[in-house]
Amino acid sequence: MKMWSGRFREPLNQEFERWQRSFPFDQRLLLQELEASSAHARALRKAGVLTAEEQDAVLVGLAAIGKEFTLPIVDEEAEDVHHFVEKQLVARIGDTGKKLHTGRSRNEQIATDLRLYVRDACDQLNACIIEFVSVLLDRAEKAGGAAMPSYTHLQRAEPVLVAHWLLAYCEMFLRDVSRIRDCRVRLNQCPLGSGAIAGATLALDRHAMAAELSFDAPCANSMDATSDRDFAIEFVQAASILGVHLSRWAEEFILFSTQEYGFVRLPESYSTGSSAMPQKQNPDALELIRGKCGRLAGAAQQMLITMKGLPLAYNKDLQETQEPVFEVAETAKMMVKVAAGFMREVDFKYDTMQRAAETGFMNAMAAATYLTRKGVPFRNAHEIVAGAVRIAMQLGCELGALPLATLREIGPEFADDFYGAVSLQSVIDCHAAFGGTATHCVKQAIASTRQRVRAVTEEW
């Protein structure tokens, strides 16, 4: 029996009937539906629609439904999660169950359930990201003074501390945390009591319902409340930026695990072998993280296109906004969890990184800076050092191995202290402005990042 069949004389086309049902996926909202329904039941009692006994029967019934079912639930009749709960309630407490729908609409229910779901998804995802950032920080701390090359255009650029490189990812992921929190702040208003479109017809205490569900306030406009899915779009978009960060992180580790780089050793617990090539160890965890980024970005696109062009207020198209949200919430969480697990176990080959950091003339910019400290204008210094690089390439050595006499021929300002200035340690430490890779800057950065992580965790 449909919730709305009274008006109809003909049954639904069977294929269409099955196709339009959302219960196969919106059953994920069961707990949210029960919570929101309990809040509505209390409001009905206050409005004098339910007696105290009826309210209690409804609340007990709803709680029992929550206890009885674990997902997935197969119910060939249930049109959606709202229908399912109503049927279950009536089966348990009889006609009183039928009173629960007084003064409300599924339009406000789904809007409320989905907000509750996204709110919880924001919290869960952020907890996972924070855990991941903590692992990155642990690894940065353990890396100590280890150096590696950094790249621009994927060509060796300047040496940096391994810790500095890892901290770059902490920044990205902490921005994700903040974006997801922003989304949570804006979504935290309660649609309950908005009715189908024009507002509730009963004196429902919307503020009390909002407070009961830990919303900051009731949504201000019933038409907006029942048709808004901005919160879902924001969540999916924030998650897709997170996906981009994870994908870039994964890509770097994939590159660095190749024999060509040899900077990291893949943990066996996050790799697989090849059924054909016995020698292989493949970075599947990383590749899946990179690959699943596509789902998140796709979902963000899907949401926008679904919403575009919808007149106010509720339209059934809105049902299509649920699955991308579920997909993103589940996928993004696992991506971050796997990334954190990988990060905990991956081995850094510090020797190879260090060797790479010492070669390839990555101290050339520091060499030019050295000359500017002797009064040479930077443009000239750049040219002089380029000449030195050319000579070193011919001799097959690094800048620091050129004899002083040779250097002086192209720049009389070169002196003994040049060799110290282009050593790996000084090259790293000369990037001492805030945010740079100098050892003391990185030490401070680790401490202040930890502090920020602590602060966001506490604010929760």
Stretch that binds ligand ARG, among 45-53, 106-114, 240-248, 359-367 (CB under 6 A): 106-114
- The residue assigned the tokens 């609340």 is 59
Q: Residue 46 Cβ, how far from ligand ARG at the closest point, in Å?
A: 25
Of the two residues 81 and 422, which places its CB atom closer to ligand ARG in the complex?
Answer: 81
83 is known as an active-site residue:
no
Question: Residue 452: is it exposed, middle or buried by C-beta count within 10 angstroms (0-12/13-18/19+)?
Answer: middle
Name the nearest CA neighbour of 325 among 231, 191, 232, 228: 232
Q: Choose the catalytic residue: 207, 274, 440, 448.
A: 274
Report the relative pairing of strands 264-265 and 217-218 from DSSP bridges: unpaired
82 is known as an active-site residue:
no
Stretch that binds ligand ARG, among 85-93, 96-104, 311-319, 362-370 (CB under 6 A): 311-319
Residue from 221, 272, 319, 423 binding ligand ARG (CB under 6 A): 319
**Residue 113 interacts with ligand ARG (CB under 6 A)?**
no
| C-beta separation of 330 from 241 below 8 A | no
Name the nearest CA neighbour of 194 among 106, 320, 82, 321: 106
- The residue assigned the tokens 């249930």 is 78
Stretch that binds ligand ARG, among 274-282, 312-320, 390-398, 406-414 (CB under 6 A): 312-320
What is the rounded CA–CA span in Å between residue 192 and residue 305? 26
Binding mask 61-80 for ligand ARG (x = CB under 6 A): -------------------x
Q: Assign 78 to helix, strand or coil.
A: coil
* Total of residues contacting ligand ARG (CB under 6 A): 10
Q: Residue 106 Cβ, how far from ligand ARG at the closest point, in Å?
A: 4
**Residue 314 interacts with ligand ARG (CB under 6 A)?**
yes
Q: Residue 190 Cβ, how far from ligand ARG at the closest point, in Å?
A: 17
Question: Which residues, in sequence order, are CB contacts of 290 under 8 Å at separation 6+?
Answer: 246, 247, 250, 251, 254
- Provide the sign of the torsion angle of the four alpha carbons 410, 416, 422, 424, taken in this order: positive
Residue from 78, 232, 318, 399 binding ligand ARG (CB under 6 A): 318
Site for ligand ARG, rule CB under 6 A: 22, 26, 80, 106-107, 110, 314, 316, 318-319
Tell me which residues are annotated as active site. 153, 274
